Amino acid sequence: MPKLNVIVALSGGVDSAVSAYLLQRAGYQVRAVFMKNYTGTHQNLAGECNWARERDDAAAVARQLKIPFTVWNFERQYRRYVIDYFFREYKKGRTPNPDIRCNQYVKIPLFLQRARKEGADFIATGHYARKLEPRAKDQGSKFCLLSGADPGKDQSYFLYTLTQPQLKRLLFPVGEMTKPEVRRLAKRVRLPVAEKPDSQGICFVGEVKVVDFLKTRLPERPGPIVDTQGRRLGEHRGLWFYTIGQREGLGLSHGPWYVVGRRRRVNTLIVGQLTQQRFIMARSCITEKPHWVAAQPKFPAMLLVRHRYRHPVFPAQVARGARGLKIVFSKPQRAITPGQSAVFYRRTRQGLEVVGGAVISKVEQTRFAW
């Protein structure tokens, strides 16, 4: 029986490197591709060295494993679907998630399409997520997307836009492992990226501060920073450079201070102290552009909802509203943020199953608008 062909999206990090090794060990015919999505040399930020360094690390892994390696260029599509969207959302005062957007429009669909044209049976990524195959005896059963086995590294939040045809061809080799297990295995088999730190930057852009990146297209528009009583404390650089609940980068003394609201008409940023977190608590929000991994639930539905990455899931009622899906949490939530995604889960014996998700468009009115 001929070996199944799989193309691994080799990013230059340890997770995708171990994924390639595991697939090779499992008997697949493995090839590796580095996705060149953003160079940014004209921005003088992450620049040429960032993507080239990641490519070189990926190539070193492929040499170590003795698997074919090539580079596919999706920079034009990434700029259109991710970067341009990123700036549009921030300009509107929202806080988008580029990782979700990339998976939805570039990293999964375009990569899969090209891989299939080149004869691959599957594609694989280094995401900490799991896939459950349809039950053999149940013709109506579908693929399920599950949270990763490591709760501290679970990346299912970024994958709620996956479709059934995509899940059919997608493999998550490290989904059943913890990060420490991945590191130990990489070290044991002498992968050259075994001790490489995890990337903390913007998806495919690199280790660059969000504010510095935004300044490449959005101008500074200074205005006053005031406390919850309206007393002036300092000056902000432009409302679009800040997000609800933000603590870093305010440049204020006698803190810590947190962003709790804004008055866009008068270009004013409002901050509060730790004891004033109630000003950014809300129990409900409206979402738009819903997507369901397998089947749309019957509304109203009681689901577990995560409204930002690494945030715990909380029970909530999800129902149809006049402007989209309305989410009402069982407990008030801190800093629900327009532009982020609310991802819906249900608890199963195998772990948290991703039901779907939607983009947060409006948050319940709090004292200070966001």
Q: Which of 49, 102, 144, 285 is catalytic?
A: 102
DSSP lists the bridge partners of residue 170 as: 123
d(CA 264, CA 94): 13
d(CA 128, CA 15): 8
d(CA 337, CA 225): 20
Q: Which of 49, 144, 203, 285 is catalytic?
A: 203
Q: Is 144 considered catalytic here?
A: no
Quote the Cα angle for 307-215-50, to 5°: 80
Distances 94 to 53, 239, 240, 340 between C-alpha atoms, Å:
32, 10, 8, 8
Instruction: Note whether 220 and 263 are within 8 A (CB).
Output: no
Name the helix (H) or strand (E) containing 147. strand 144-147
Q: Is 49 considered catalytic here?
A: no
d(CA 51, CA 54): 5
The amino acid that residue 10 corresponds to is L
d(CA 105, CA 33): 18
Active-site residues, by number, are 102, 203
